[in-house]
A = this chain, B = another copy of it.
Amino acid sequence: MTESPRIFAKQYLMTAGPTPLPPAVSQAMAEPVIYHRSPAFIEIYARVLENLRTVFRTRNDVLCFAASGTGAMDSAVANLVAPGDQAVVASCGKFGERWRDVCEAYGADTIDLEFEWGDPIDHERVDAALADAPAPVRAVFATQCETSTGVVNDVRALSEVARRHDTVLCVDAVSGLGAIDLPQDEWGVDVVVSGSQKSLMCPPGLAFVSASERALAQAADRPGRRHYFDWELTAAGQRQDPPNSAFTPAVTLFRAIDIALEQIIAEGLEQVFARHALLARAARAGIESLGLERFGPDDESANVVTVAAMPDEIEGAQVPKLMRDRYGVTVAGGQGRLKGRIVRIAHCGYYGAFDIVAALTALEMSLRDLGVEVEPGAGAGGAQRVFAEAGVAPEPVG
């Protein structure tokens, strides 16, 4: 028996972080290393700091750390919450629970509001918790896109609640910033944290914190428990003219984010958000065309990662495994209590129409391998109809 032609050797990364990179971003990292105090780096650094403001939709200094996104979350708790301070964590999935873990590590007196995995945060319950809190709440921690379930929370409503109670809202936007709109200043969100490796089209290793003057003042009132992640120290360096990093920055990753931010800004933020929304709509349609249930709320907000519920009759954990090992398409399955129950197809960052088609087709083939009856092409067809209805295809030729 001859070996099959290797048509599935080519690899597709469809996870919500890390995400694939535009070629120019990858290539920038192969450039020679430059000294972080040299004019060549300072030019990149200054441009990145300015472009981050545009993408975060803020006039804050967007503080940059060499860290995973969790490092930025850690910094938020370390800076905003002194031991014994009252804090509220509103969570609806694994990443929301991380806020609780960090708050506990730092000795906060945490009011833990848990919502069902797959449901969004109910801002009215947050409102009630703030009204009933036994001590002044110093910060509310929540998640924009809960990547473990695909749910996108109503950050604007949460921000209104926090401001009504005169407390700081701190939003983990690690996966969604740059995919769905979060006009920080317009909505009055005090702190937005994010990371390089998801919608911002870079490798992991840079973490960002956009903190308002009010949040910075609260941090200054709560010294200690940090040096590397101290906001004041990093802000002081970034505010110098020219900007001067407090510690050695990850210079190759700065080269990467420089290219990525320029690409995002050249495409235009509105266009970027519209692209994500349309890819998500196509992914949702494809999943329904495959005969699968979608996991999560039935609305149009979940534009970062599309989540399919696995049929009860198959072993759900087999699906992402088959997609990767047989077909070269890496998607994420479920985490924690959702293990084996869902498949998550990401489309945050450098994704286009045919990435969705490829992911849906690999999903379809894997389901068929497991005995699920699906008409070949159903998923791709569902997505294609969305593209056609959106009128985004070029004019007919000839």
Contacts and interface: CB of A to CB of B under 8 A. Distances in A.
A70 interface: yes
A69 interface: yes
A17 B248 CA distance: 8
Contact of A250 (B11, B68, B106, B224): B68
A78 B229 CA distance: 12
Contact of A70 (B74, B247, B250): B247
Contact of A32 (B13, B101, B105, B324): B13
Interface in A11-53: 11, 13, 15, 17-21, 26-27, 29-38
Contacts of A20: 32-33
Contacts of A330: 35, 38
A106 B66 contact: no
Contact of A228 (B74, B250, B251): B74
Contacts of A230: 105
Contacts of A19: 33
A156 interface: no
Interface in A157-189: none
Contacts of A381: none
A225 B78 CA distance: 8
Interface stretch (A129-137, A197-205, A263-271, A305-313): A197-205
A74 B205 CA distance: 17
A216 interface: no
Interface string A67-109: 1111101100110000100000000000000000110011100
B66 A205 contact: yes
Interface residues of A, number: 60
A21 to B, nearest CB: 6
A358 to B, nearest CB: 15
A102 B68 CA distance: 21
Contacts of A332: 35, 37
Contacts of A30: 26-27, 29-30
A301 interface: no
Contact of A248 (B11, B102, B197, B225): B197
A218 interface: no
Nearest to A223: B105
A226 interface: yes
A229 B27 contact: no
21 contacts: A11-B34, A26-B29, A26-B33, A29-B30, A35-B332, A36-B204, A68-B248, A68-B250, A70-B227, A70-B248, A73-B227, A73-B228, A74-B228, A105-B224, A105-B230, A107-B224, A195-B248, A197-B248, A205-B205, A205-B253, A228-B229
By Cβ-Cβ distance, the 5 closest A-B pairs, closest first, are: A205-B250, A74-B228, A29-B29, A30-B30, A105-B227
